[in-house]
Amino acid sequence: MKGIQKIKGFFQLIRYPNLIFIALTQSLFYYRIIVPSFTINGQPRQLLKETDFILLLVSSLLIAAAGYIINDYFDIDIDNVNKPERLIVGKLIKRRWAILLHLVLSLAGLFLTAIVAMHLNNLLLLALNFLSVLLLLLYSSTFKKRLLIGNFIISVLTAWVVGVLFIAELRLSDVTYMQINQTVLGSLYKVTLVYAGFAFIVSLMREVVKDMEDMEGDRRFGCNTMPISWGIPSTKVFVAVWIFVLVGLFAVIAFYAMLNAWSWPFYTLSFAMIFLFYRLLKKLYQAQLTADFAKISKALKLVMLLGIISMSFYLLS
């Protein structure tokens, strides 16, 4: 019985729903955007072949899982106040095992990244994934408690889930390759920028909303998060500004889609997003209790999911 509880605890610890999000994001971006972008007369020419993509995907999942573990390791005291019912480290999994799991998963992720990097002759991949591991450690141990820095780090790493696949398609040492594929790489760069930017903004909003949700425990243990430093009203304004930015972005996408006669899924999704943001603004204005901010955080997960699903319509544009 204890063994089953520990297995369940492990999957809760590594946030398996978030890992599914990562796998879905990278799979759709690879199969619906990268591969079609490089396909000429039915012949795929992308650098990142399917086997290497799978290795890179698994490495992303391992590094993310390690990040969640080390975050909970350093957050035992705070989580004991904010979410005692969800406490895993120190309750179901011993602290020393959490450290060991973090180390093993991080090294395994970097090992797989190294294999792909050598296949592609792209050591930048390994360097940036190593930086991701380092940032996750520094975030959990230090920067999470500092104003906006921790939120910014997590948002950048969320955007990196998409960015890592674009970097895998670069071969900076091969001038001929870069020249031949200049057009497709330029187009792919723009698409990557849109999705990475979207992921960054939504993640930043969600991290700030979670800070409002976790204020009690954060304040008790000396964290200097935005709601503690600025207050709830100003923090709400910060989130609202980014919501308006995304509303503008999706309004532009819908207008551009109509001008270029894109298929109906783009209109439907864009207007659905705008409506969802309207509901979010209303909920944000009314939010007072921890449970209210928890609902907004879940709604932002839905926003992220819809953004991921939109990759399925790329070929229809």
State the chain's mean pLDDT as an integer.
88
Task: Give how many domains the chain has, as a whole number.
Answer: 1
Q: Are 158 and 15 in contact (CB under 8 A)?
A: no
The 8-class DSSP code of residue 85 comes to G
Enumerate residues 6+ apart whose C-beta is below 8 A from 274.
Answer: 247, 250, 251, 254
Judged against a pLDDT cut of 70, whether residue 43 lies above it is answered with: no
What pTM did the predictor assign? 0.92
The domain of 192 spans 2-316
Which amino acid type is present at position 53? F
Report the C-alpha gap between 288 and 235 in whole angstroms.
12
Judged against a pLDDT cut of 80, whether residue 256 lies above it is answered with: no
Q: Report pLDDT for 93.
A: 81
Judged against a pLDDT cut of 90, whether residue 207 lies above it is answered with: yes
Tens digits of residue pLDDT in 126-136: 999 999 999 99
Q: How many CB atoms lie within 10 A of CB 3?
A: 7
Q: Which ranges in the chain belong to alpha helices (H)?
A: 2-13, 16-29, 35-38, 50-74, 76-82, 95-120, 123-141, 149-168, 175-180, 182-213, 215-220, 226-230, 232-259, 264-286, 290-309
Angle of the 149-168 helix axis to the 123-141 helix axis, nearest 10: 160
Residues of the chain with pLDDT > 90: what percent?
Answer: 55
User: What pLDDT band is residue 40 in, cutting at 50, 70 and 90?
Assistant: low
Tens digits of residue pLDDT in 20-32: 999 999 999 999 9
Which residues on neighbouring strands pair with residue 93, listed in sequence order?
A: 89
